[in-house]
Structure 1
Amino acid sequence: MLSKIFKNFKTKGMVGQSSRFLIQKMISNIDFSRDLTIVQYGSGKAVFVKQILRKISPNSKLYVFEIDEKCNKYAEQIHDSRLVYINDSAEKIFDYVTEKEIDAVVSTLPFASLPKDLLEPIITNSRAILKENGIFLQYQYFLTNKKAIEKIFGEKIKLSFEPINFPPAFIYKLQK
């Protein structure tokens, strides 16, 4: 059991499903009162996907990037015309997202365990595709990449913390 937890943490950056408290705290940063285009990096067990779909308007769109085959099955089971599911890597956002600008990026990627050469293109491309005042949201269990992300994005992270999650998580918010 413990070996499975450590393997999941190393490869997927998770030990379990994100708590409803973490999901709510993170997506409460998004103004759902209007039509939106949102991109999510990493679907995991699709708990963020489901909550975002519950909140977005009928004319909104949610793009979800996921490369893990086991995680793919969760999002692929969701049939919603607002969902565009992409079985590819997040740094390829411009290959798939048809809108020139988006409102928000919600990232659940385990930056601490991803190859170092992926961090910069993912953050750079995310900033480039965001509308003015668009937001980039990310949760992490450690503050490992905080300074690197701030440097790449060109803004200071507004940091919050959600203790009711296993493990507790830091939420990064960057606004363009």
Structure 2
Amino acid sequence: MFSPRSRYHTTMAQSADFIKEKMLFAMKFAAAPRTVGSVTPSSPYLVSSMFLNVDWQSVGVVAELGAGTGVMTKEILKRKSPGSRFFAFEIERGLRLRLSRELKIKIYDDAAKLPQVLDRARVGKADLIVSGLPFAVLPRCVTAAVMDAVQRTLSDEGIFVAFQYSHHMKSSFESIFEQLSTRLVVMNIPPAVVYECRGVKRGAGCCD
């Protein structure tokens, strides 16, 4: 049982880590807003909404695109089944190296390389692909390449879940998925839209 003093020190340490994470995210955003996409990490409310309808027992392969400071990454590691495979991607080198050291897992760079990474790992298709990439501010060619990778690797029964800060991607997602639902998360800075997509329309294009 923790003493009041030990609980105090634990709380202070957690607060210090939270502040450091916020500062790091803000600095990375200032340096490369088109890569990081937001001035602050995702809130617990957004994290909860992202995984609202995920049946973790049926997820054998999960990929995360745009790991950032690892808010979603850590939650995936907590929730996924022990035997499942996890592949995380983060293009910003500083964030990627920091998160890799902290979690002691390999973090890949370019999310568009997802098909090649899964092929090399011999794991087949992904059952869940989670994205925090800021599609609204990325060059169209980058968004198209990433979404092509998603289409090629998501299993027939798989789920693609992404959050954005606008409805900018709604028509693009509708063009490549059979089913699309959205949820607004106001308890986030800024408020975010969660897109939950199922059923890839084979041969469909994105961002034409």
> TM-score w.r.t. structure 1 length?
0.87
Structure 2 equivalent of residue 175 of structure 1: 198
Match of 1:85 among 85, 92, 107: 107
Q: 53-62 vs 9-18, which deviates more?
A: 9-18
Match of 2:167 among 143, 146, 155: 143
* Structure 1 unmatched runs, 5+: none
Supply the distance in 2 between the matched residues of 1:53 and 1:9 (Cα, whole angstroms).
27
Q: How far apart are 1:123 and its partner, in Å? A: 1.4
Supply the distance in 2 between the matched residues of 1:11 and 1:128 (Cα, whole angstroms).
23
Supply the distance in 2 between the matched residues of 1:68 and 1:115 (Cα, whole angstroms).
16
- CA distances 1:140-171 after superposition (whole Å, capped 9, x unpaired): 001112212322x2434211111110001000
- CA distances 1:90-122 after superposition (whole Å, capped 9, x unpaired): 111111113221101000000011111122221
Q: How far apart are 1:78 and its partner, in Å? A: 0.3
Match of 1:95 among 109, 116, 135: 116
Amino acid aligned to 1:132: D
Partner secondary structure for residue 178 of structure 2: coil
Q: How far apart are 1:55 and its partner, in Å? A: 0.6
Structure with greater helix share of residues:
2
RMSD over aligned CA atoms reads 2.1
Q: 163-172 vs 140-149, which deviates more?
A: 140-149
Supply the distance in 2 between the matched residues of 1:59 and 1:157 (Cα, whole angstroms).
29
- CA distances 1:14-49 after superposition (whole Å, capped 9, x unpaired): 110100110011012211124521000011100101
Q: Indicate whether 1:127 and 2:148 are aligned.
A: no
* Structure 2 unmatched runs, 5+: 1-22, 200-208
Match of 1:57 among 74, 81, 97: 81
Supply the distance in 1 between the matched residues of 2:73 and 2:127 (Cα, whole angstroms).
16
Partner secondary structure for residue 50 of structure 1: helix
Partner secondary structure for residue 18 of structure 1: coil
Q: How far apart are 1:133 and its partner, in Å? A: 1.6
Radius of gyration: which is bigger? 2
Structure 1 equivalent of residue 188 of structure 2: 165
Q: 153-162 vs 111-120, which deviates more?
A: 153-162
Count of equivalent residues: 170
Structure 1 segments of 4+ aligned residues over 3 angstroms from their partners: 3-11
> TM-score w.r.t. structure 2 length?
0.75
Partner secondary structure for residue 158 of structure 2: strand
The percentage of aligned residue pairs carrying the same residue is 28
Asked whether the equivalents of residues 59 and 81 of structure 2 are also in contact (C-alpha less than 8 Å), the reply is yes
Supply the distance in 2 between the matched residues of 1:164 and 1:8 (Cα, whole angstroms).
25
